[in-house]
Chain A
C-alpha cells in the first residue's frame, strides 16, 4: 500500500494551524478597523490588546492582571466544554448561556440567602444547569423540538428569572447582588494557596484547577469510554444507535444534562470567587455561553484545545481594557475582541480550504 501521510494531513496539526490562521486574520481586520477610526493610535491599541497583562509596568501588577485573566478563563473554558460536549453528540448547545444563568441564580441565592457552603452551592449550580439542559434534551428527544430553539428561549426565561430571584439578595440601594466577601464568606471558593503565586490575588483559586480537570474528564469520556462511544454513535446516527440497542432518547437527554451541568459549574466558578456581582437590571443574556461556542470551535473541537482557545479569547477580551480611551471610544475594545472571536467561527472553513489545497497538490504529485 502506498503511504500518503503528509504532516499537514494530521488532524491535530490542521486544527492548530487553522485556529492560528483565524487569530491572525482576526487581528488584521481588527487593526484595519482601528486604522479607520483613528490611524495614529492603531498600532498602539492592537499591541495593547495582544499584550493584555504584559501592559503593566510592574511585574507584581502583571501577575495580578494575569490572575484576573485566568479567573475569567475558567468559566469560559467550562462553557466551551459544554458546547463541545453537546456538539460531539450532534447537538448545538446554544442554550449554554441559559444553563450558565441557572447556575448563577442557584449559586448566588444559595450563598447569599441560604448561607450554604461553597461546595453545596457549586453542586447545586451544576444540578440547576443540568436540569435546564435536560429540558432542551427531553424536548429534542421526545418531541423533536430543535435544541437551538428551546435553548434560545430558555436563555431569556432564565435571564429574567435571575433578575427576579436575585433581587431578593441585592444591595438595597443598588442593582447589584450583595458582596460575597462581606455577606457570604463561607461560600467563597478556597484559594488553595494559588493566590500567593499571583501576588496575593484574592480571586485566584480552586476554580482554575476544576476547569482544567473538567477539560481532561470531557476528553476521556468522549474518547476513551463506553459512554462516549454510545453518545457519539447517537449523535452521528440516531437510528443506527437505536438499532444497536442503545437508548437513543435517554442518551440525548443525558448529553444535554452533562452539557448543562458544565455550564452551571462555570457559573459557580466565576461568581463564587466574588470577583463580580450579578446586576439585577441585566438586559441581555450573559455572553459567556456564546463565547463558549467560539472557544469550542477555535479550540478545534478538542477539549484540550479548548484550554488554549479559552485562555486566548479571555486574554484578548481583557486586553481590550488597556486600549487608550483618550483616542478610542470605550466600545472599541469589545468591538475588536468580538471581531477576533467572530473569525474563530471560520476554523472549519480554513480546515476545508487546507484539505482542498492538499488534495490538489496530491492530485498533481500523484503521477
Chain B
C-alpha cells in the first residue's frame, strides 16, 4: 500500500522581488506523524508555510491533501481543509480576552446571540486536557508572551484542526512547559493529527519529531528519519558547516562595579502589586550576569526599570558611580547603556521605517548623522547602515532601504544587536537576544556577548533558555515572583537545580 500523506507540497517555488524564497521544495507530511521543518532564518520555512496557509500563492508546484490536488487561495481555504497554524508572531487581538480570541471567526451563535458559555466550557475542557493553563477572561495585552502562545495553541485545538502547524512554538516556553508541549504533540499525533513542527532547536526535534525536512537558503536539502540521524548531522545540513554548541570563553577578569541596583521595586501594570520586589544586585565590568527565570516573573519589568521605560516605585540604580534612578532613557543611552529589548516589534524597531533608519535609532541625533544639527545626513546614514549590514550579515531584500517589516524575525534581531553593540556600550542589557534566531546566528550572538565581556564591559543577560543560562554567563541570578531567589555559579550548578529555583521550590539564596 502506498504511503498515506495528509498533506503534500510538491516542487513549490515562490519568488519575491530580489529573492527566491522557495526553490523547488517538496514536503510530505504523513498522517499521524510529527514532521519537523528545520532551517535557518531566511531559509524559506515561513514562506513555505505561508504558501500552505494560503497567504502566498506559489508560482510553481502543487499541494495535495489526502492524495488529491487542492488549491489554497486564502487562510479560509486552509481552515476548511483543517489546517491550523500557530504563528511565530501571534495573531491575537490585544484588547480582546483570551476566550474572545479563541472563538474569533468561529463564534458559537444561537439566533445571532453569542453562546459564550458553550465556548468557555469547550476551551476549559481543552485547556485542562492538554494542560495549557490560561485565564479565559484575561485581556491579551495584560498577559505574558507565554500565555499568549498558549492561547494561540488553544485557538487551533478549538477549531478541531487535523493538520497542525507549530511555528517555533517553544521559543518562549519554560523547560517544564516545553516538556508538557512535547507530550501534547505526541498525544495529538497518536490521535491521528498530523503535526508540522517548525523549529531550529535540534534537541526538541530529536525528541519529538519522527522525520525532519531541512531547508537552506530557499533550497531543499533533504528529509531524514530522526531515529537515523544525529544533532550534529542535522545542524551541518541546516547551516552547511559544522557548528559548535558550546560557548568557548576564558576565565572572567572582573573589574569595577558598573551597575549597582539597591532595593529596587517596580509596580506591576496589571496586578496591584510589585512586579519587581526589593531586588538588589551588582554587575561588574568584564562579567556576564544572567537573570534566569520562567517568563513573567518580573524580568520584563526589571529591565524596564533599568532602561528607564518605567519608573521605579522604590530603590536606586547606580551606574558607574552615578545615581541614574531618575535620569531619562536618552541620558542613560548616551552614558553608555545599550538595551536589546525583549519585544523587537514593540520597542526595538520602527517597523515601517527603512532598515537604515532603524540602524540609527539610538544615535540619529549625533553630529555624524546630521548636517547643521537639523538635517539628516543621508549619505552618512547610508554608509553607516551599509557597514552594520555588511559586518553583521543582516540579510534583506534590498539592503539599507528595505522596509524593516518585510525582513525575517531573525534578521530584524540581528539588526538590533548590530546597532546596540556598535554603540560600544559599557553596560549591555540583552533581553532574550537569541529569541527566534537560528543556530548559526546564536553562536555569533553569544560570541559577541563574550567579546564585550572580554573587552571589560558589563553584560546583563536576561534569558529563558536553559542552555543559554548554563552556557553563557559567569553568574546566574534566578528571579521568582519578582524577587531574586538565588545566585548560582553556572560551573557548579545543574539544570535540575536551576529548575528548582526557577519554579520557586528553592529560594535560599543559591550556591554562592
Q: What A residues does B59 contact at CB under 8 A?
A: 363, 366-367
Among the listed stretches B111-119, B273-281, B348-356, which one makes contact with chain A, having 4 or more residues with CB under 8 Å of it?
Answer: B348-356
Find chain A residues with CB under 8 A from B351 CB: 236-237
Q: Which of B309, B362, B365 contacts A226 (CB 8 A)?
A: B365
Residues of B within 8 A of A1 (CB): 18-19
Which of A54-62, A138-146, A238-246, A317-325 is the interface stretch? Answer: A238-246
A232 to B328, CA, bound (A): 21
Of A4, A226, A232, A244, which is within 8 A of B361 by CB? A244
List the A side residues contacting B347 at CB < 8 Å: 239-240, 242-243
Q: 1/0 contact trace for B422-463 toward A, CB 8 Å?
A: 000000000000000000000000000000000000000000
Q: How far is the CA of A105 from the CA of B127 in the complex (A)?
A: 62
Contact A226 B353 (CB under 8 A): no
Interface centre among A225, A226, A232, A367 (most CB of B within 10 A): A226
1/0 contact string of A88-111 vs chain B (CB within 8 Å): 000000000000000000000000
Q: Residue of B at shortest CB range from A237?
A: B350
Q: Is the CB of B362 within 8 A of A236?
A: no
B143 within 8 A of A: no
- The answer for the CA separation of A208 and B436 in the assembled complex, in Å, is 55
Given that A2-B17, A226-B370, A366-B59 are contacting pairs, would A243 and B348 also be in contact in the complex, using a CB cutoff of 8 Å?
A: yes
Number of A-B contacts (CB under 8 A): 77
Whether the Cβ atoms of B330 and A4 lie closer than 8 Å is no
Q: What is the distance, in angstroms, from A246's C-beta to the closest C-beta of chain B?
A: 8
Q: Closest CB-CB distance, A361 to chain B, in whole Å?
A: 13
Residue from B333, B349, B370, B375 whose CB has the most chain A CB atoms within 10 Å: B375
CA of A244 to CA of B332, assembled, Å: 11
In the complex, what residues of A have CB within 8 A of residue B331's CB?
245
Please determine whether B18 and A2 come into contact, CB atoms closer than 8 angstroms. yes
Residues of B within 8 A of A232 (CB): 353
A225 to B357, CA, bound (A): 12
Residue among A240, A366, A367 with max Cβ neighbours from chain B (10 Å): A240
- A233 at interface (Cβ–Cβ under 8 A)? yes
With a cutoff of 8 Å between Cβ atoms, the chain A residues found around residue B19 in the complex are 1
Q: Flag if A236 contacts B374 (CB, 8 Å).
A: no
Give the complex CA separation of A4 and B19 in angstroms.
Answer: 11
B310-331: CB near A (< 8 Å → 1, else 0) gives 0000000000000000001111
A2-B18, A226-B376, A227-B374 given; A243·B339 CB < 8 A: yes
Which residues on A sit within 8 Å (CB–CB) of B328? 245
Interface membership of A349, Cβ < 8 A: no
Is A229 interfacial (CB 8 A cutoff)? yes
B346 within 8 A of A: yes
Interfacial residues of chain B within 1-39, with CB under 8 A of chain A in the complex: 15, 17-19
The verdict on B96 contacting chain A, using a C-beta distance below 8 Å, is no
Complex: A4 Cα to B398 Cα, angstroms:
11
Count of B interface residues, CB-CB < 8 Å: 35
Q: Which residues of A contact B15 (CB under 8 A)?
A: 2, 366
Q: Is the CB of A224 within 8 A of B375?
A: yes
Residues in B whose Cβ lies below 8 Å from that of A236: 350-353
Q: B286 near A: Cβ within 8 Å?
A: no
Decide if B364 is an interface residue (CB 8 Å cutoff). yes
Kindly identify, within residues 40 to 63 of chain B, every residue whose CB is under 8 Å from any CB belonging to chain A. Answer: 57, 59-60
CB distance from B111 to the nearest CB of A (A): 34
* Shortest Cβ distance from A244 into B: residue: B361
- Residue of B with least CB distance to A367: B59
> How many residues from A make CB contacts under 8 Å with B?
26
A107 to B501, CA, bound (A): 70
* Interchain nearest-CB distance for A2 vs B (Å): 6
Give the distance in Å from the alpha carbon of A241 to the alpha carbon of B348 in the complex: 9
Distance in Å from the Cβ of A94 to the closest Cβ of chain B? 23
Q: Min CB distance, A115 to chain B, in Å?
A: 38
**A348-367 residues at the B interface, CB under 8 angstroms:** 362-363, 366-367
Whether B17 contacts A4 by the Cβ 8 Å rule is yes
Q: A residues within 8 A CB of B349?
A: 237, 240
Closest to B307 in A: A243
Q: Is the CB of A242 within 8 A of B357?
A: no
Contact B350 A225 (CB under 8 A): no
Known: A2-B17, A366-B15, A367-B59. A245 touches B350 (CB 8 A): no
The answer to whether B376 and A244 touch across the interface, beta carbons within 8 angstroms, is no
Q: Mark A1-26, 1 if CB is under 8 A from B, else 0.
A: 11010000000000000000000000
C-alpha gap A51/B15 in the complex (Å): 49
Nearest CB of chain A from residue B312's CB, rounded to whole Å = 16
Contact B350 A233 (CB under 8 A): yes
Q: Mark B99-142, 1 if CB is under 8 A from A, else 0.
A: 00000000000000000000000000000000000000000000
A246 to B18, CA, bound (A): 34
Cα A232 to Cα B361 in complex, Å, equals 12
CB distance A243 to B18 under 8 Å? no
Residue contact A242 to B309, C-beta cutoff 8 Å: yes
Nearest-CB residue, chain A, relative to B344: A240
Question: Is B329's CB under 8 angstroms from A245's CB?
Answer: yes
Q: Is B341 an interface residue (CB 8 A)?
A: yes
Nearest chain-A residue to B328 (Cβ)?
A245
Given A236-B350, A240-B349: A245 touches B330 (CB 8 Å cut-off) = yes
Docked Cα-Cα span, A240 to B357, in Å, equals 12
The answer to whether B350 and A4 touch across the interface, beta carbons within 8 angstroms, is no
C-alpha gap A64/B375 in the complex (Å): 41
**With A and B bound together, what is the CA distance between A142 and B373 in angstroms?**
29
For the complex of A and B, 8 pairs with smallest distance between CB atoms: A245-B330, A243-B347, A4-B17, A245-B329, A244-B361, A1-B18, A236-B352, A237-B350
Instruction: List 7 contacting pairs A-B, 8 Å CB cutoff, sorted by A.
Output: A225-B376, A226-B370, A233-B353, A236-B351, A243-B341, A244-B362, A245-B332
Extra inter-chain contacts (13) besides given A237-B351, A363-B59, A367-B59, CB under 8 Å: A2-B18, A233-B357, A236-B350, A236-B353, A240-B349, A242-B329, A243-B347, A243-B348, A244-B361, A244-B362, A245-B331, A246-B330, A367-B60
